Amino acid sequence: MTCRIHAESAGIFRLLRLEGSLFSPVHQIEFRKAVQTLCEQKERTAVAIDTSELLLIGSCCLAAIIEAAMVLHKDGLSVVLLDDRSSALDVFDVVSIQTILPVYPTLEEARKALAR
């Protein structure tokens, strides 16, 4: 199984959901295009990147998430990362991704944080 990238609206967020087992360089290109599409839309809502259904978060995935956060921030959009699995949170800690974008366990927790 490879990675699938889904873009959808989720209330105050536009959600990019990653699912599957392998996020490869090919998926980086697809993910980059999805982020660019979000930047081109007139709707200026926050973006949530959900990795909770991605089996493995490796270097290609991390690079894509960090690049997306930088592009979205530069475009004036808020971006958050969603995952509550200890294995994913450990990876995020190792690379200090929380210094680039906030990580929340659920979309609802992210909504509450942005409402403050």
Task: State pLDDT tens for residues 18-56.
Answer: 999 889 999 999 999 999 999 998 888 999 999 999 999
Beta strand 13-20 with 46-54 is parallel
- Residue 80: pLDDT over 90: yes
Q: Average of pLDDT values for 92-97?
A: 96
Q: Which domains does the chain have, with CATH numbers?
A: 4-115 (3.30.750.24)
pLDDT at 1: 61
pTM of the model: 0.94
Q: Give the SS3 label for residue 67.
A: helix
Contact 47, 79 (CB under 8 A): yes
Mean predicted confidence (pLDDT) in 1-30: 91
Q: Provide the terminal-to-terminal Cα distance of the chain, rounded to the nearest Å.
A: 39
Of 102 and 114, more confident = 102
Nearest to 3 by CA among 17, 16, 20: 20
Tens digits of residue pLDDT in 64-79? 999 999 999 999 999 9
